[in-house]
Amino acid sequence: MHPPASLDAFDIKILVYLQREGRCSNVELSSAISLSESPCLLRTKRLQDAGVIRGYHADIALEKVGSHVIVFSEVTLSSHRPADFRTFEDGITRYQEIVECHNVSGGYDYLLKIVVPSINWLQALMDRLLEDNIGIEKFASRIVLRQPLRQGGYPLETLVNERPSWADEGR
């Protein structure tokens, strides 16, 4: 885990706004967070240079692109030496269908988010992964039926505050 970047209230405001409005101009951003344009641009550049802002991406509506299936697969490796984890992680980078990979605690080693055009495609992908001999002992897949919640960003204000906003409710 990397130490957190030193962020002040304006940095957080910039990040929160950019998560929502990544295509905004510096003029719009500076106005939205009540900071003049030059310091706003300098702060945004500093956040980019520090790697806090990794990039800007389009939010694609997959349902408008075509038929697709979203799957979460739990993967257990057959061996747990550091080299085995590296072999698996290097091996899955060859598949654009695997859009996220998380090394997790619990009953399995990795949670993969996979996006494919069909169940048949998923089966072929899983067969190829097993044939690649990248250390997979077993996997279990969960097909997403619907997505009732999608935040589209991280709870940045919560992550930097010591008390949750709801902690003062009911006082």
The residue whose two tokens read 């698996």 is 88
Contacts 24+ apart (CB under 8 A), 33-38: 35/10
- State the pTM of this model: 0.84
Residue 1 has a pLDDT of 44
Q: What is the DSSP letter of 96?
A: T
**Spatial separation of the C-alpha atoms in residues 44 and 26, rounded to whole Å:** 9
Instruction: State how far the alpha carbon of 11 is from the alpha carbons of 14, 42, 49, 82, 160, in Å.
Output: 5, 11, 13, 36, 11
Q: Mean pLDDT in the chain?
A: 92
Q: Express each pLDDT in 8-56 by its tens digit.
A: 999 999 999 999 999 999 999 999 999 999 999 999 999 999 999 999 9
Q: What is the pLDDT along the chain (171 residues), one digit of tens a residue?
A: 455 568 999 999 999 999 999 999 999 999 999 999 999 999 999 999 999 999 999 989 999 999 999 999 999 999 999 999 999 999 999 999 999 999 999 999 999 999 999 999 999 999 999 999 999 999 999 999 999 999 888 999 888 876 666 666 665
